[in-house]
């Protein structure tokens, strides 16, 4: 199909930055603000992936933004190792009271390598007394980030994940970038995605948070991931609310796995029971082969 006629999908935004610079706090505040707006109910569980609705009065063509937290997701390393580009926009969080640190530099290297990746800098903890955001901006420029405030293209937003200051502006900035990028994906055709997290939940058995990149995930879908397989029994959004289907750009918790899939593994459409059995037997054999080869070394 002509890519420009495919449906728009929400941007996938990954929050990155040095340890303790406030990534999770910032996301928690964004999420509770959107939950407080009455967009969702039910039990909240920390899955490190959630959707923020975009206000429709803004005339935006976007409905929502999907946020992913790091490094809770060891999955990212595995996905990157496969060459997967699951992120559209990186929010680089830099704590104003700590500045550019080793993991900040790692993120800068990552975004420099991928020209298609959108970047927004969030200078965080701006509520702290005596912090100097100009100093941070200069340090980021020295690392080679072309910031808007120095005539570059990378926007900088000053925020506090603790008080919520600047978060609206951060979401607006991300929305604008995503609209310009016009992200589209195929909703028909076979499912393709990645496991962000997996765990066993009481009453539900093995569940996995799946980031959908192509296709439509619904109850009854047959899935395969590594040596695990599922017939989807229930789909839940990040607020624990049961949803009917999940589209590209959405992260959704899937119940119905027979085995626990691994974070970072691909999720593909499974065929009939017999086809799934055969595929899994082949995969297991391949894995055993790898182990045998490693033992022989």
Task: Name the site residues for ligand GTP (rule: CB under 6 A).
Answer: 19-25, 124-125, 127-128, 160-162
C-alpha to C-alpha distance for 27 and 174, rounded to whole angstroms: 14
Stretch that binds Mg ion, among 15-23, 100-108, 169-177, 226-234 (CB under 5 A): 15-23
**Which member of 8, 24, 97, 283 binds Mg ion (CB under 5 A)?**
24
Residue 24 or 262: which CB sits closer to Mg ion? Answer: 24
Residue 24 or 60: which CB sits closer to ligand GTP? Answer: 24
* Minimum distance from residue 48 beta carbon to Mg ion (Å): 8
The answer to whether 194 and 213 have CB atoms below 8 angstroms apart is yes
Residue 44 or 60: which CB sits closer to ligand GTP? Answer: 44
Interacting residues with Na ion between 4 and 33 (CB under 5 A):
20
Q: How many CB atoms lie within 10 A of CB 42?
A: 12
Long-range CB contact pairs, 43-46, < 8 A, 24+: 43/239, 43/240, 44/238, 44/239, 44/240, 45/238, 45/240
Q: How many CB atoms lie within 10 A of CB 185?
A: 18
The residue count for the chain: 297
Residue nearest Mg ion, Cβ-based: 24
Beta bridge partner(s), residue 235:
243, 254
C-alpha to C-alpha distance for 211 and 68, rounded to whole angstroms: 10
CA distances from 87 to 119, 132, 167, 257 (A): 10, 30, 20, 26
Stretch that binds Mg ion, among 20-28, 46-54, 76-84, 221-229 (CB under 5 A): 20-28
Residue nearest ligand GTP, Cβ-based: 22
Residue 28 or 39: which CB sits closer to Na ion? Answer: 28
By the rule CB under 5 A, 219 interacts with Mg ion: no
User: Three-class SS of residue 1?
Assistant: coil
* Minimum distance from residue 181 beta carbon to Mg ion (Å): 26
* Minimum distance from residue 238 beta carbon to Mg ion (Å): 15
Stretch that binds Mg ion, among 9-17, 22-30, 48-56, 107-115 (CB under 5 A): 22-30
Binding-site ranges for Mg ion (CB under 5 A): 23-24
């Amino acid at each position: 199909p002509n890519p420009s006629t495919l449906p728009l999908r929400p941007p996938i935004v990954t929050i990155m930055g040095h340890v303790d610079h406030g990534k999770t706090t910032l996301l928690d505040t964004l999420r509770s603000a959107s939950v407080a707006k009455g967009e969702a109910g039910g039990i909240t569980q920390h899955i490190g992936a959630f959707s923020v609705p975009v206000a429709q009065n803004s005339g935006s063509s976007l409905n929502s933004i999907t946020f992913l937290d790091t490094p809770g997701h060891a999955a990212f390393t595995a996905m990157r190792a496969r060459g997967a580009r699951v992120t559209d926009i990186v929010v680089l969080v830099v704590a104003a009271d700590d500045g550019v640190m080793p993991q900040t530099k790692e993120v800068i290297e990552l975004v420099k390598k991928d020209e298609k990746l959108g970047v927004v800098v969030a200078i965080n903890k701006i509520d702290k007394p005596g912090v100097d955001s100009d100093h941070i901006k200069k340090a980021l420029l020295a690392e080679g980030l072309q910031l808007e405030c120095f005539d570059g293209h990378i926007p900088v937003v000053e925020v506090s994940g603790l008080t919520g200051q600047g978060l609206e502006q951060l979401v607006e900035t991300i929305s604008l970038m995503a609209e310009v990028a016009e992200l589209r994906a195929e909703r028909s055709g076979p499912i393709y995605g990645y496991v962000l997290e997996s765990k066993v939940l009481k009453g539900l058995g093995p569940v996995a948070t799946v980031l959908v990149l192509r296709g439509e995930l619904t109850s009854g879908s047959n899935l395969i991931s590594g040596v695990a397989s599922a017939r989807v029994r229930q789909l839940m959004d990040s607020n624990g609310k049961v949803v009917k289907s999940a589209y590209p750009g959405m992260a959704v918790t899937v119940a119905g796995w027979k085995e626990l899939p691994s974070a970072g593994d691909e999720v593909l459409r499974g065929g009939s029971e017999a086809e799934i059995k055969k595929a899994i037997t082949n995969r297991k054999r391949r894995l055993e082969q790898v182990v045998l080869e490693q033992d022989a070394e």
